[in-house]
């Protein structure tokens, strides 16, 4: 046999030993996320949270003795990109689980692929609610948990009239439909509701209608990230002084807005100012790992960190990565994280401690009040 033949045989043998063996010794988490498009402002913080969780888990022996690795795919914050990302992760990369924050458009496009591939999917983004799949769990808030703190506060501040502004897709319309019903239920009046495309950058026409209506309060629900920034900057430039509640801004995006974010009221399940040992330890670990490159942890990235640990707990409870056994286990495990104890045992969703806050001049959020273990309500009653 020639030297070349011997060399090729050695390479082939090494491949046989390391290829399948390496795959058998790893657990792969797929992260489809909007590295481009509307979510590009916040997506890097989501990836960082997952990277920290995986580093911590691997430092303690991995999951069932296996090393955990990440596969990140850009879903471009929309349906077409999500279809490509989900298909690649599930059928080409053969991931064991999907864990990610995405737009509702991306999630809705990806779910049929999840169902076909029969892969567990932990959705870590706050959203409009009532999206259900046998393979999906959600550890972030829904409108049943998030809307009341803002509207109730505005009502106490004397607000009688409201103007609603949203992105024209499932999240924007779903959130504001719930909000409108709640405002009217509590005695308020919606004097206008307007929507712009998901990638809108010019809000001039809508803001002209707001000025004409002169509402006591404005509540917005855009796609997370870039649309939030442009709307807020233009709203401030227009000199509108109404109370301003934002259902879609995270703390990281608020910092990106600069001075324009000051005074915005937001409700969420996570702010960096949560004063608990678990949150302080998490922030310290993030700072140590990423240093000057750290993206502000927020209500879209922290659930990602906790979801990686939830998957770890479910696999260890099941004793396997087999989806049929991991899926029911996800409803039974509890994760102690920066947001407290998270259990996704309410129709695939989680009771959450919610906070009402107001953005300060430095972009951080001052907590006004908290609401412990807020129930997500009826979300997926047909799923166990």
Per-residue pLDDT tens digits of the chain, which is 384 residues long: 444 344 434 433 444 433 444 457 999 999 999 999 999 999 999 999 999 999 999 999 999 999 999 999 999 999 999 999 999 999 999 999 999 999 999 999 999 999 999 999 999 999 999 999 999 999 999 999 999 999 999 999 999 999 999 999 999 999 999 999 999 999 999 999 999 999 899 999 999 999 999 999 999 999 877 889 999 999 999 999 999 999 999 898 898 899 999 999 999 999 999 999 999 999 999 999 999 999 999 999 999 999 999 999 999 999 999 999 999 999 999 999 999 999 999 999 999 999 999 999 988 999 999 999 999 999 999 996
Same domain for 280 and 135: yes
Same domain for 280 and 132: yes
Q: Which of 268, 286, 305 is the last residue of a domain?
A: 268
Same domain for 95 and 134: yes
Same domain for 233 and 223: yes
Is residue 10 included in any domain, yes or no? no
Element (H, E) at 5: helix 3-24
Is residue 119 included in any domain, yes or no? yes
Same domain for 213 and 147: yes
312: left (phi over 0), alpha (psi -120 to 50) or beta: alpha
Q: Look at the block and give the residue holding tokens 């303690």.
A: 60
Same domain for 282 and 136: yes
Q: Comparing C-alpha atoms, which of 105, 230, 210, 100 is closest to residue 163?
A: 210
> What's the alpha-carbon Rg for the chain, to the nearest Å?
22
Same domain for 311 and 164: no
Identify the domain containing residue 190 by its residue range.
Answer: 143-268
Same domain for 219 and 249: yes
Sheet holding 136-138: strands in order across? 67-74, 26-33, 97-100, 121-123, 136-138
Q: Comparing C-alpha atoms, which of 357, 360, 358 is closest to residue 259?
A: 360
Q: How many domains does the chain have?
A: 2
Give me the pLDDT at residue 363, please.
87
The one-character DSSP state at 63 is B
Q: How far apart are CA 379 and CA 128, in angstroms?
A: 10
Mapped onto helix, strand or coil, the DSSP state of residue 181 is helix
Same domain for 296 and 232: no
Same domain for 234 and 178: yes
Is residue 113 included in any domain, yes or no? yes
- Detail the DSSP E strand segments found in 197-339: 217-221, 243-246, 265-268, 334-337
Q: Which of 268, 287, 321 is the last residue of a domain?
A: 268
> Residue 370 CB: number of other CB atoms within 10 A?
13
Is residue 5 included in any domain, yes or no? no
Q: How far apart are CA 17 and CA 50, in angstroms?
A: 29
Give me the pLDDT at residue 23, please.
59
Same domain for 261 and 162: yes
Give me the pLDDT at residue 256, please.
85
Is residue 16 included in any domain, yes or no? no
Is residue 198 included in any domain, yes or no? yes
């Amino acid at each position: 046999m020639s030297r070349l033949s011997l060399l090729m045989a050695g390479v082939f043998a090494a491949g046989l030993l390391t290829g399948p063996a390496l795959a058998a010794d790893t657990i792969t988490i797929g992260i489809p996320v909007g590295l481009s498009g509307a979510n590009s402002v916040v997506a890097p913080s989501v990836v960082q949270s997952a990277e920290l969780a995986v580093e911590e888990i691997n430092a303690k022996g991995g999951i069932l003795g296996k090393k955990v690795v990440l596969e990140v795919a850009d879903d471009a914050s929309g349906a077409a990109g999500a279809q490509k990302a989900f298909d690649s992760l599930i059928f080409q990369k053969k991931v064991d689980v999907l864990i990610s924050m995405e737009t509702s458009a991306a999630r809705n496009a990806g779910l049929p692929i999840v169902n076909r591939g029969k892969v567990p999917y932990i959705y870590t983004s706050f959203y409009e609610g009532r999206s259900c799949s046998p393979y999906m769990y959600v550890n972030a808030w829904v409108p049943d948990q998030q809307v009341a703190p803002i509207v109730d506060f505005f009502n106490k501040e004397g607000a009688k009239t409201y103007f609603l502004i949203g992105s024209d897709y499932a999240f924007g319309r779903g959130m504001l439909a719930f909000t409108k019903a709640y405002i009217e239920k509590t005695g308020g009046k919606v004097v206008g509701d307007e929507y712009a495309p998901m990638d809108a950058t010019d809000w001039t026409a809508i803001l002209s209608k707001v000025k004409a209506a002169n509402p006591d309060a404005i509540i917005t629900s855009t796609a997370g990230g870039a649309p939030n920034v442009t709307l807020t900057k233009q709203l401030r430039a227009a000199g509108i002084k109404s109370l301003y509640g934002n259902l879609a801004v995270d703390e990281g995006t608020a910092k990106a807005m600069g001075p324009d974010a000051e005074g915005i009221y937001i409700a969420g399940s996570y702010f960096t100012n949560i004063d608990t040992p678990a949150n302080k330890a998490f922030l310290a670990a993030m700072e140590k790992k990423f240093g000057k490159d750290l993206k502000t942890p927020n209500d879209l990235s922290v659930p990602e960190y906790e979801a990686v640990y939830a998957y770890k707990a479910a696999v260890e409870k099941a004793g396997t990565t087999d989806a049929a056994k991991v899926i029911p286990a996800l409803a039974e495990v509890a994760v102690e994280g920066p947001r407290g104890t998270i259990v996704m045992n309410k129709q695939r969703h989680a009771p959450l401690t919610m906070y009402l806050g107001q953005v300060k001049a430095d972009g951080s959020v001052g907590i006004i009040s908290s609401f412990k273990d807020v129930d997500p309500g009826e979300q997926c009653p047909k799923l166990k």
